[in-house]
Structure 1
Amino acid sequence: MAVPKRRTSHAKQGHRRSHHAVKPLQSQYCQNCSGVVQPHRICLNCGYFQGRIVVAEQEETGK
């Protein structure tokens, strides 16, 4: 098994980890209800995706 001959410096660690930062989530607005939606996903409020209904709203049954 390979063993490093020298300790990795802080600068070298930083260069390697430069792409590990957490990026913010992208968001768009639904064309139907103007709710905030992630791109390429169904709207959780109304069930629309690209101008058509994909998930029909369920009726709540009361007891």
Structure 2
Amino acid sequence: MALPKKKTSRSRRNMRRSHDRVAVPNVIYCECGEPILPHRACAACGNYKGRQVTESADV
């Protein structure tokens, strides 16, 4: 099994890990004001792209 010849410094280790973070989800706001994920129908009012696609929860 291969072994490293020298200890990896904290700086080099952290630079390698700099892209391993969790991405922040993109949040948009529906016409009713609720935050939703893009390309999904609103859970509060049932609208998607300005059309009513599902029954709203408060019927």
TM-score (norm 1): 0.65
**Could you tell me which amino acid in structure 2 is paired with residue 4 of structure 1?**
P
After TM superposition, give the deviation of residue 12 of structure 1 in Å: 0.7
1:1-63 pair list within 5 angstroms: 1-31=1-31, 33-57=32-56
After TM superposition, give the deviation of residue 22 of structure 1 in Å: 3.8
RMSD over aligned CA atoms reads 2.4
Alignment: residue pair count? 59
2:44–2:56 CA contact under 8 A, matched in 1: no
2:43–2:57 CA contact under 8 A, matched in 1: no
Task: Sort the Cα spacing of 1:26 and 1:59 in 2 relative to 1 into closer, same or farther, 3 A.
Answer: closer
Task: Sort the Cα spacing of 1:55 and 1:2 in 2 relative to 1 into closer, same or farther, 3 A.
Answer: farther
Q: Which runs of 4+ in 1 moved over 3 A?
A: 21-24, 57-60
After TM superposition, give the deviation of residue 44 of structure 1 in Å: 1.2
Q: Secondary structure of the equivalent of 1:13?
A: helix
After TM superposition, give the deviation of residue 26 of structure 1 in Å: 2.3
Unaligned runs of 5+ in 1: none
